[in-house]
Amino acid sequence: MKNLEQSAVGVSGYVESLRRDRDRFVALAFCAADLLLEVNTSNEILFAAGASHSLIGKPPESLVGTLFLDLVVAEDVPLIAELLKGMVPGSRLDPIPLKLNGAKGPTVQLSLMGYHLPDLSGNQFFAIRLGTSGTRIDIPMDAVRDPLTGLLEKDAFATLASRQIREAGERGETLKLTMVQSSDFDQLRARTDTEHAESALRTMGICLQANAAGGQAAGHLDDGAFGFLHKPKLDVKRITSRVEEIFRAADPTGVGIALNTGTVDADISSLSESDSVRVLLYTVTRFCESGGKGFEMSSLSDNLKTMTRETTEKLAKFRQIAVQSKFDIAFQPIVDLDTEAIHHFEALARFGKRLDRSPYELITFAENTGVIADFDLAMAKKVLTWLKDQNSLGMMHVVAVNVSGQSIANTVFVNALHDLLYKFDAFRCQLMFEITESAKIDDLESANRFIQGLQKAGHKVCLDDFGAGAAALRYLHALEVDVVKIDGQYVRSAMDSPRNKAFLKAIAGLCHDLGITTIAEMIETDDQADMLRDAGVHFGQGYLYGKPSFDVGEFVNAPKRKRKPPVMDLTSREDGKVISQAQIKALQMSTGRPGRQPKTPQSRW
């Protein structure tokens, strides 16, 4: 009997010890979480404990037997489902943001952490806590995303990834960058329908995002190229196999796509944000140029050395181009939309005698390396010299030359430009200035002083690439320009959407009220020209009126273009008669009602 009692005491003590250990581990878990869950391979909740009632209005015991994904808000389900698929025994899920379905709608932002215990290979354990992880970096609401995959576009991805690399470095952690590329997407689209192809791309985007650091740092790098930042121990082969599986499932032939991959150490946490972004973009560009084949870069720090050497060489070459004026000028006409008479030309830089090659990459390089002011000055000098030569031949043209928003903040450039203009004083009325890259203007007050200085000297000033939005309105309010050039994307989008057309009309109307002349670019069809004319835009530029050319005589001596007759927009009057919009305009003018008065080009300036 005594032995039985001692045995019972021993069992009781053992059970009590197990209970204390259990309570201890639960207490430790609750130090980092508000809700604990155990989920099986069927996504069914086996155990729940914690503040579920305050989070979602249900007691913990009521969650047992329900599906975990049913607790998650619909927009987060694809990401969480992909995470569940990727959790193998021994893997840990770093904090991922999500929201649950609460009693009164979605909860506030929560953090989800998880672990797949090797000894219980069928079950996954999750901890959910209020708020987001301290390691999470918020993505700006206006960050540009690829509409098909939902992934960040290249520049936004590079900015976010560089921040995460530096944040990880501060915590003593390291990350890796993996890039995947395939040239088979076009063939896949040809073999399957649009719906299945786009669904596969979205699923791939979710897969990369789910396995990225913090569930965020995944991006669309180029056509057919994608990348994500991740922990070093992530099984990249498993992820690429999952991506290949996604596309095989979408392909009716079962072939799918072949992927090329490249992984580099993200060891640049000691760099500044701007330098780390540059290195990331350099690496991404090199990977995309190689098509992912034979990609041998091992780390971002090695790339920094290569990039620095190449940048130095390229910088020296560009300075030589600017100083020695080793570039050519192409001209594109800007015409009056009512008469289609040429009003002036925009001067466009071209390198290597190539009309068909845009200088965008080289100009962007000059802006990013701080030497764009040298080129802007060289361009202005070359245009002024050209105007002088043309005037000596009896040809008096008006030309607009571009000036970067970065250059106008450079006092050395501003002084040098005014000295140059003084030397060509007789041609001031023939030279206009277009301010480009206005988004990079930080000091709007100083920029406006620069504009007024040019205006006082006899030059008209245009704000280039103008669009809708708060930023555009801020520039229009702060910068007293004579002209705004409406970005071509608004011209194109206005043809497809009444809403976008309303935006364009609003821009034109606001400028009209402020006494600012409007130019629309990228006009390629008569229908676009008619739409812009009706919207109240004054001038137009685009392939409809002429592609860039080294010879202005090509435009000056060209026969008058035969315009397509506009489609009559007929309106029924109350008396039953049908009149055209042109008649309505004439009636408005005769009765004094609002209507855009026809003006000559000279009176508009």
**Going by C-beta distance under 8 Å and a sequence separation of 6 or more, which residues neighbour residue 573?**
579
Mean pLDDT for 313-339 is 88
**What pTM value is reported for the model?**
0.54
DSSP annotation of 469 reads S
Identify each DSSP E strand in 267-371 by its residue range.
Answer: 328-336, 342-350
The alpha helices in 148-193, defined as continuous H runs, are 154-170, 185-191
Q: Is 596 a residue whose pLDDT tops 50?
A: no
Model pLDDT, residue 415: 93
For residues 419-429, average pLDDT: 92
Pairing relation of β-strands 35-39 and 218-222? unpaired
Q: Which residue has the higher pLDDT, 550 or 24?
A: 550
pLDDT, mean of residues 428-456:
88
Start-end of CATH 3.30.450.20 domains in the chain? 22-130
**456 or 560, which is more confident?**
456
Beta carbons of 432 and 459 less than 8 angstroms apart? yes
Do residues 331 and 346 touch, judged by C-beta distance below 8 A?
yes
* pLDDT tier, 278 (very low <50, low <70, confident <90, very high otherwise): confident
Q: Is residue 566 over pLDDT 50?
A: yes
Q: Has residue 292 got a pLDDT over 90?
A: no
> Higher pLDDT residue, 354 or 511?
511
Instruction: Give DSSP secondary structure letters for 409-444.
Output: G-HHHHHHHHHHHHHTGGGGGGEEEEEE-GGG---H
Q: Where are the alpha helices (DSSP H) in 470-569?
A: 470-478, 488-494, 498-513, 526-535, 553-556
pLDDT of residue 431: 96
Q: How large is the angle between the packed helices 236-250 and 194-211, nearest 10 degrees?
A: 170
State which amino acid sits at residue 4: L
Q: Which residue has the higher pLDDT, 267 or 530?
A: 530
pLDDT at 473: 81
274 membership: H or E segment, kind and range: helix 273-290
Looking at residue 468, its pLDDT comes to 54
pLDDT band of residue 381 (cuts 50, 70, 90) is very high
- What does the pLDDT average to over 61-79? 90
> How many angstroms separate the CA atoms of 439 and 367, rounded?
12
More confident residue, 337 or 32: 337
Distance between CA 68 and CA 83 in Å, rounded? 12
**What is the mean pLDDT of the segment spanning 480-499?**
89
- pLDDT above 60: residue 197: yes
| Amino acid identity, position 119 | D
Distances in whole angstroms, Cα of residue 426 to Cα of each of 179, 402, 416, 419, 565: 56, 20, 18, 14, 42
pLDDT for 398: 95
- What pLDDT, on a 0 to 100 scale, did the predictor assign at position 324? 84
Q: What is the pLDDT of residue 590?
A: 38
For residues 375 and 363, is the Cβ–Cβ distance under 8 A?
yes
Amino acid at 232: P
Helix 300-323 to helix 273-290 angle (10° resolution) is 90
What does the pLDDT read at residue 601? 37
510-533 burial, b at 16+ Cβ within 10 Å, e below that, comes to ebeeeebbbbbbbbeeeebbbbbb
Q: Cβ-count burial of 534 within 10 angstroms (0-12 exposed, 13-18 middle, 19+ buried)? A: middle
Q: Tokens 């408005």 appear where?
A: 588
DSSP output for 201-238: HHHHHHHHHHHSGGGT-EEEEETTEEEEEE-TTS-HHH
The pLDDT of residue 406 is 86
- Of 144-148, 158-162, 219-223, 561-565, the poorest mean pLDDT is in 561-565
Q: Is 473 in a helix, a strand, or coil?
A: helix
Within the chain, all domains assigned CATH 3.30.70.270 are found at 152-312
Higher pLDDT, 401 or 107: 401
CB 206, CB 148: distance < 8 Å: no
Which amino acid, one-letter code, is at 598? Answer: P
The DSSP symbol for 549 reads: B
pLDDT of 347 over the 90 cut: yes
The CATH number of 152-312 is which of 3.40.50.300, 3.20.20.70, 3.30.1490.20, 3.30.70.270? Answer: 3.30.70.270
Q: What is the mean pLDDT of residues 180-199?
A: 87
* 435 has pLDDT over 90: yes
The pLDDT assigned to 578 comes to 45
Average pLDDT over residues 460-475: 80
H or E stretch covering 570: strand 570-572
Contacts of 60 (CB under 8 A, 6+ apart): 35, 48, 49, 50, 52, 53
The distance of Cα 560 from the centroid of its chain, to the nearest Å, equals: 40
pLDDT at 104 over 80: yes
- List, by residue range, all CATH 3.20.20.450 domains of the chain: 325-567
- pLDDT tens sequence across 112-141: 888 877 766 678 888 888 876 544 556 665
Instruction: Decide if pLDDT at 287 tops 70.
Output: yes
Mean pLDDT of 369-382: 89
Q: How far apart are CA 460 and CA 399, in angstroms?
A: 10
Q: Residue 5 has what pLDDT?
A: 55
pLDDT at 411 over 70: yes
Q: What pLDDT was estimated at residue 349?
A: 92
| Amino acid 581: pLDDT | 45
Shortest CA distance to 332 belongs to which of 351, 315, 320, 345? 345
User: pLDDT band at residue 482, thresholds of 50, 70 and 90?
Assistant: very high
Q: Identify the band that residue 589 occupies on the pLDDT scale cut at 50, 70 and 90.
A: very low
Cα 262 from Cα 276, distance rounded (Å): 19
Residues 313-336: what's their mean pLDDT?
Answer: 87
Domain 325-567: CATH class, spelled out: alpha beta
Spatial distance between the Cα atoms of 228 and 150, rounded to a whole number of angstroms = 13
What would the mean pLDDT of 157-170 be, rounded to a whole number? 88
**pLDDT score, position 12:** 65
The answer to whether domain 22-130 has CATH 3.30.450.20 is yes
Query: Whole-number mean pLDDT of the chain?
Result: 82
How does pLDDT run across 77-95, given as a tens digit for each residue?
A: 888 888 777 777 777 777 7
Nearest-angstrom CA–CA distance, 214 and 171 = 14
Place of tokens 């082969």: 237
Q: How confident is the model at residue 417 (pLDDT cuts 50, 70, 90)?
A: very high
Confidence bin at 424 (pLDDT 50/70/90): very high
